[in-house]
Amino acid sequence: MRAKICLVITSLLLVASSMNAQSIWDRAHLEKVKQSLHHPYFSAAYQELIADADKTLDVQPLSVMMKEKTPGSGDKHDYMSQARYYWPDPTQPDGLPYISRDGESNPELNKLDRNRLGATAQRVTTLALAWYFSGDEKYAQKATELIRVWFFNKDTRMNPNLEYAQMIPGHNNNKGRCYGVIDTYSFVEMLDAVQLLEGSKAFTPKDAKQLKAWFGKLLTWILNSPQGQEEARQANNHSTAHDAQVIAFALYAGNMKVAQEVINAIPQKRIFTQIEPDGKQPHELRRTLAFGYSQFNLSHLIDIFVMGRKIGISIDNATSADGRNFYKAMDFLVPYVGKEVEDWPYQQISEWDYKQQEFCKDLYRTSLLNPARKDYLKIAKAHRVIDWKDRFNLLWVEADDVDNAYAFACGQLRFALACAGKARKEADNQCKHRVVPRSINKDGSLKMVHPHDWCSGFFPGSLWQMYAYTNDDFWRQQAISNTWMIEEAKWHKGTHDLGFMMNNSFGKAYQLTGERSYKDVVLQSAKTLITRYSDKVKSIRSWDHNRDKWKFPVIIDNLMNLEMLFWATQETGDSIYWKVAVNHANTTMKNHFRPDYSSYHVVDYDPETGEVRAKQTAQGYADDSFWSRGQSWGLYGYTVCYRFTKDPAYLQQARHIADFFLGLPNLPEDLIPYWDMKAPGIPDVPRDASAAAIMASALYELRNYVPAEDGKHYQDIADKMVDSLNKHYRTEPETNYGFLLLHSTGHHPGGDEIDVPLNYADYYYLEALARKEALKQ
């Protein structure tokens, strides 16, 4: 008996707690976001929320008394709206009765209550969230005022019914239709906001009690009125939306029995009747907005599933005997994500892009509901267009360190674009055709370089990477304009760095857009690059300067240009590029590495015999030292060689290089190396964030090619490097001309670019982030 009493008490407590829980939003998530508003991913959306809330502080509260017409009841307190897609009949003098134009909204809607209801719900939601996140009572006070005017005040309140919702002039004595029942769908989210508001001083327990009573009455009307019952019998999204409202209003009003009954009936009444075994929703597909309504219906189901989970009912996996279920319907729409409207075999006369984005949000929410569906998360992230001001970020997104890093990078690179644009107008830069930001000069000015500079491709490449992450056309346009600035370099035979310059810019562009013009530039760059190849030396010559010192110098950096050559053979079928790349890789592997797999920077060859003349350094501390960025180039280069050739010798070489460098006893704890690991004065010498970014990116790729245990080790190291870069090496927002990382070292012995930002550090940092994200997926 005692156990039974305890069980009853526990059940009552669970019910009581559920009555105060969010219906759709996750309070724990919101609390986590509240503690993270300073993080880049959330800050813009929070600032936009506060700006929106501030705009409503002085607005006049809206009410049903403001409409221009009076309902058939003669009581303006009765809500009244007009059917969205009905228009005056042009063949009739008075336009009556109105006729249907499916998918085309009639602006007469603005004269009645629907838009004011939606605006009120949106404003209350905005203000309640602003209060919750900021703690400023002025937002709660305004939200409470709006609620009281719309729902409570004797002179302005809305009667809790929808008798005249979605009426059609000239039909049914201007009485409302069943479809008007879902005019109040915006109240579903608003009630979640109201439950946050209950923690404020302004929204009193009396207010909460009155609002719960009001929604209890509206719930009763929906369940018992002819319109409400007819809406429940609809065969399409209307009945699903009806049910979602009923559940939300019941949960808020405290009617757990109704909420449970409706949720439990969803599979049989909605999923199995509206979704075919192949996932089609025939009642939605016959509309002129077929994709949009298919998505719309699924979004209601997601709301229902989330509300069900809140009270311990899980129905999202419910499947009929012949295979009908929610996930089939999602999967039916998935192949059209990212496609053009012409690829959709049904009608969608407008809003294609908008509905695509709404479906991406549905995919994201479903992945939270069902973490096993990682494919949904992957598709959502691949195709969503990130708007940093979007409130969805606050309400739903579980942002991690990668997301925050990209959000930071977006802000910085916008600033960088402005700084670069200004610098290009300076007379000296114009005269010398310096168009790309590379670093910061010793005098503190922005260092701009010519398209022939070996670093010219990294800044446009970073812009393409931002486009890849955000899918925002802004970044595509910026990347396009900054990429074509350096096109002339495709003919430049005086450098071995065309892979750095052209593959990281035009190559990225072709990879992301598939546009032939970019491909042509990269292929010409490959043709130009192999003119520096010597069949006698079996390498690509690096530098042309210091001919009194070197006859045919090859530097370890040159491995990074081979990717473009391997790709060129894949694209053209011409083996010459592949042969040059393989010969260069083999020659470098033979002569550049010591027995411990550390690397020389420069190996000079006799161009007549191919014999080695000298093994030296140029940018390291000494000929026998471990120049950090050089070790990173070697690791990255041989990892790429293995990607294309699958030659185990290259994989072994990459692993040896990684294991040597990561095993150095004086490697700093944060894994950001000194500029040279044998430099005198360690630890009081400059670091090189660029070397860490390059190495982290390479390790993420290497992780895919080795046994799982070894791969995890490499990934853990890369994670720690990226974490260190995120926490201790990033610039402050809108400083340092928009560069992302501090503390890189370019040419220490030459006294150039020491402890500065560098555009290639930023490029490989972004690439490392992308590879880290890909491994998570």
Domain ranges of the chain: 53-233, 402-776
Closest CA to 307 of 584, 24, 108: 24
Q: Confirm whether 497 is a catalytic residue.
A: yes
Residue-by-residue DSSP string for 345-368: SS-B-S-HHHHHHHHHHHHHHHHH
Report how far residue 614's alpha carbon sits from residue 600's, in angstroms, rounded to the nearest whole number.
10
Closest CA to 64 of 8, 23, 115: 115
Residues (pLDDT < 50) of the chain are 1-20
Report how far residue 38's alpha carbon sits from residue 133's, in angstroms, rounded to the nearest whole number.
11
Give the number of other Cβ atoms within 10 Å of residue 261's Cβ. Answer: 13
Closest CA to 181 of 327, 65, 32, 81: 81
**What would the pLDDT profile of 364-417 be if each residue is shown by its tens digit?**
999 999 999 999 999 999 999 999 999 999 999 999 999 999 999 999 999 999
Which residues does 357 contact at the CB level (< 8 Å), separation at least 6?
Answer: 384, 385
- Crossing angle of helices 114-134 and 27-34, rounded to 10°: 60
Which residues does 403 contact at the CB level (< 8 Å), separation at least 6?
Answer: 41, 397
Q: Which helix (H) or strand (E) holds 448?
A: strand 446-449
Question: What's the whole-model pTM score?
Answer: 0.92
Give 649's Cβ-side CA count (13 Å radius). 8
* 3-state percent breakdown (helix, strand, coil) of the chain, nearest 5: 60, 5, 35
Q: Where do we find the tokens 């509901």? A: 369
**Token pair for residue 88?**
């005056």
Which residues does 630 contact at the CB level (< 8 Å), separation at least 6?
Answer: 555, 556, 557, 599, 600, 601, 619, 620
**What would the pLDDT profile of 274-312 be if each residue is shown by its tens digit?**
999 999 999 999 999 999 999 999 999 999 999 999 999
Closest CA to 613 of 552, 523, 690: 552
DSSP H helical segments within 161-255, as ranges? 186-197, 205-224, 226-232, 237-253
Straight-line distance from the first to the last Cα atom of the chain, in angstroms, rounded to the nearest whole number: 51
Sort strands 80-82 and 164-167 into parallel, antiparallel or unpaired: parallel
Domains 53-233 and 402-776 share a fold: yes
**563-575 burial, b if ≥16 CB within 10 A, otherwise e?**
bbbbbbbeeeeee
- What are the backbone dihedrals phi and psi of residue 156, each rounded to the nearest 5 degrees, phi first? -125, -10
Q: Confirm whether 136 is a catalytic residue.
A: no
Query: Does residue 133 contact residue 34 with C-beta atoms inside 8 Å?
Result: yes
Tell me which architecture the domain covering 53-233 has in CATH: Alpha/alpha barrel (1.50)
Query: For residue 656, with 0-12 CB atoms within 10 Å meaning exposed, 13-18 middle and 19 or more buried, which class applies?
Result: middle
Q: What is the pLDDT of residue 5?
A: 35
SS3 446: strand
Give the number of other Cβ atoms within 10 Å of residue 90's Cβ. Answer: 7
Query: Does residue 296 contact residue 359 with C-beta atoms inside 8 Å?
Result: no
Report how far residue 119's alpha carbon sits from residue 130's, in angstroms, rounded to the nearest whole number.
16
Report how far residue 332's alpha carbon sits from residue 344's, in angstroms, rounded to the nearest whole number.
11
Query: Does residue 509 contact residue 464 with C-beta atoms inside 8 Å?
Result: yes
Give the number of other Cβ atoms within 10 Å of residue 652's Cβ. Answer: 14
Please report, for residues 142, 188, 312, 369, 761, the alpha-carbon distance to residue 315 in angstroms, rounded to integers and kept in the order given. 38, 20, 10, 11, 49
The one catalytic residue in 113, 207, 497, 676 is 497
Which amino acid does the sequence have at 214?
W
In sequence order, the β-bridge partners of residue 99 are: 87
Which residues does 415 contact at the CB level (< 8 Å), separation at least 6?
Answer: 733, 734, 737, 738
Q: What is the pLDDT of residue 21?
A: 57
In sequence order, the β-bridge partners of residue 348 are: 289
Query: At the topology level of CATH, where does 402-776 sit?
Result: Glycosyltransferase (1.50.10)
Report how far residue 453's alpha carbon sits from residue 501's, in angstroms, rounded to the nearest whole number.
8
**Token pair for residue 247?**
């559940």
